[in-house]
Amino acid sequence: MRPAAALALGLGLGLSLWAAKPTGKPAPAPQKPHARNYVIGIGDVLDVDVWQSKEASKVVPVRPDGEISLPLAGEIRANGRTPARLQQRIAAKLSRFMDHPSVTVIVQQVGSRFFSIMGQVQKPGQFPLLTPTWLLQALAEAGGFTPFANRGGILLIRVTAKGQQLRYKVNYNDIINGSKPFENFRLKPGDTIVVP
């Protein structure tokens, strides 16, 4: 190999290795339904498996009151618990009927983490909120604006844990041009975006 070609190859490899190095902080890990810290919510569907007991095993939805119903174990609060905590609670209730019950709880379907978009977007509706999502990403998921959208009058409606309704008026253009980047809110479960 000629010296010039070897130098060019070496520089090319060096540049490609340099370009491949991570330059920022890693993205936050999405909260998956099987993650240890996932918190079960109303509307989630759980697959509760009790080893060697078909009678006690069941696929159940988390009801609006936050509870599930299981054979032998009865009514158990699932809302607000992790699958691991719920497994312990179910096993404790079943221990009255069987020796050392082995319980597994799998979140089969996530129904508690969603946001809604309505108004002048291409695809209004309800969307799952399984990973960290910001307002601009949500608008992109809904296909963007229709030609009649009022980009300066977007409304984000959020209900707090105490039931208080918070309303934030957002101007899309202010986010895009960088004058108000803080208006690109990170969404929370239950948020509603209205594009007039």
- The reply to whether 3 falls in a domain is no
Give the domain range for residue 89.
Answer: 45-109
Residue that finishes a domain, picked among 109, 124, 140: 109
- The reply to whether 32 falls in a domain is no
**So what's the pLDDT on residue 167?**
96
pLDDT in tens, 167-192: 999 999 999 999 999 999 999 989 99
**So what's the pLDDT on residue 14?**
38
Residue that finishes a domain, picked among 74, 92, 109: 109
Both 105 and 124 in one domain: the answer is no
- The reply to whether 23 falls in a domain is no
CA distances from 66 to 60, 126, 177 (A): 12, 21, 43
Would the pLDDT of 152 be above 70?
yes
Would the pLDDT of 17 be above 80?
no
Instruction: Write down the pTM of the prediction.
Output: 0.60
Both 97 and 170 in one domain: the answer is no
- The reply to whether 96 falls in a domain is yes
Residue that finishes a domain, picked among 77, 94, 109: 109
pLDDT in tens, 102-130: 999 999 988 888 999 999 999 999 998 88
Ranking 23-32, 46-55, 169-178 by mean pLDDT, the lowest is 23-32
Specify burial of residue 175 (Cβ count, 10 A radius: 0-12, 13-18, 19+): buried
Both 88 and 139 in one domain: the answer is no
- CB-based contact 46:113 (threshold 8 Å): no
Please list the residues that pair with 134 across neighbouring strands: 186
Ranking 32-41, 48-57, 78-87, 116-125 by mean pLDDT, the lowest is 32-41
- The reply to whether 7 falls in a domain is no
Both 103 and 130 in one domain: the answer is no
Both 141 and 185 in one domain: the answer is yes
- The reply to whether 124 falls in a domain is yes
- The reply to whether 6 falls in a domain is no
Count the domains in the chain: 2
